[in-house]
Amino acid sequence: MKTLIDGAWVDRSAEVQSTDGSFIRKDTAFRNWITADGAPGPSGDGGFKAESGRYHLYVSYACPWAHRTLIFRELKGLEAHVSVSVVHPLMYEMGWELTDTYPGATGDPVLGKVAIYEIYLAADPKVTSRASVPVLWDKQQNTIVSNESSEIVRMLNSAFDGLTGNTADYYPVDLRLEIDAINDGIYNNVNNGVYKTGFAKSQEAYDRSVAALFAQLDTLEECLSGQRYLVGDRITEADWRLFPTLVRFDPVYVGHFKCNIRQLVDYPNLWAYTRELYQYPGIKETVNFDHIRSHYYGSHESVNPTRIVPAGPLIDFDEPHGREYIASE
Task: Give the pLDDT mean for 2-16.
Answer: 80
**Is-catalytic flag, 171?**
no
State the sign of the Cα–Cα–Cα–Cα dihedral 305, 101, 313, 276: positive
Q: Are 54 and 106 part of one and the same domain?
A: yes
Q: Are 127 and 228 part of one and the same domain?
A: no
Of 256, 280, 304, the domain-final residue: 280
Q: Are 211 and 230 part of one and the same domain?
A: yes
For position 36, which CATH number holds? 3.40.30.10
* DSSP percent split of the chain into helix, strand, coil, nearest 5: 40, 10, 50
Could you tell me if residue 232 is inside a domain?
Answer: yes
Task: Give the pLDDT mean for 31-51.
Answer: 96
Q: Is the pLDDT of residue 234 over 60?
A: yes
Q: What is the pLDDT of residues 169-213, one digit of tens each?
A: 999 999 999 999 999 999 999 999 999 999 999 999 999 999 999
Q: Is the pLDDT of residue 15 over 60?
A: no
Residue with the bigger pLDDT between 16 and 10: it is 10
**158 φ, ψ (degrees, to nearest 5):** -135, -25
* 212 alpha-carbon distance from chain centroid: 20
Nearest to 138 by CA among 57, 257, 75: 57
Could you tell me if residue 11 is inside a domain?
Answer: yes
Q: What is the pLDDT of residues 94-150, one digit of tens each?
A: 999 999 999 999 999 999 999 999 999 999 999 999 999 999 999 999 999 999 999
Q: Is the pLDDT of residue 265 over 60?
A: yes
Could you tell me if residue 13 is inside a domain?
Answer: yes
**Choice among 63, 120, 206, 296 that is catalytic:** 63
Domain that holds residue 232: 173-280
Q: Are 102 and 32 part of one and the same domain?
A: yes
Q: Is the pLDDT of residue 13 over 80?
A: no
Task: Give the pLDDT mean for 73-85.
Answer: 98
Q: What is the pLDDT of residues 146-170, one digit of tens each?
A: 999 999 999 999 999 999 999 999 9
Question: Which DSSP helix (H) or strand (E) runs through 161?
Answer: helix 161-164
Nearest to 291 by CA among 1, 59, 60, 58: 60
Of 111, 133, 164, the domain-final residue: 164
- Please compute, for residue 288, the number of CA atoms within 13 A of its CA located in the half-sphere on the CB side: 22
Q: Which amino acid does the sequence have at 45?
A: D
Q: Are 121 and 262 part of one and the same domain?
A: no
> Using an 8 Å Cβ cutoff, are 49 and 36 in contact?
yes
Residue with the bigger pLDDT between 28 and 46: it is 46
Give me the number of domains the chain comprises.
2
Q: Which amino acid does the sequence have at 36?
A: A
% of the chain residues with pLDDT over 90: 92
**Choice among 102, 171, 187, 195 that is catalytic:** 195
The pLDDT confidence band at residue 29, using thresholds 50, 70 and 90, is: confident
Could you tell me if residue 229 is inside a domain?
Answer: yes
Q: Are 241 and 209 part of one and the same domain?
A: yes
Could you tell me if residue 38 is inside a domain?
Answer: yes
Could you tell me if residue 292 is inside a domain?
Answer: no
> What is the chain's mean pLDDT, rounded?
94
Q: Are 219 and 77 part of one and the same domain?
A: no
In DSSP terms, 11 is beta-bridged to: 2
pLDDT value at residue 83: 98
Of 112, 146, 164, the domain-final residue: 164
**Is-catalytic flag, 223?**
no
The pLDDT confidence band at residue 25, using thresholds 50, 70 and 90, is: low
Q: Are 34 and 109 part of one and the same domain?
A: yes
Could you tell me if residue 142 is inside a domain?
Answer: yes
Could you tell me if residue 312 is inside a domain?
Answer: no
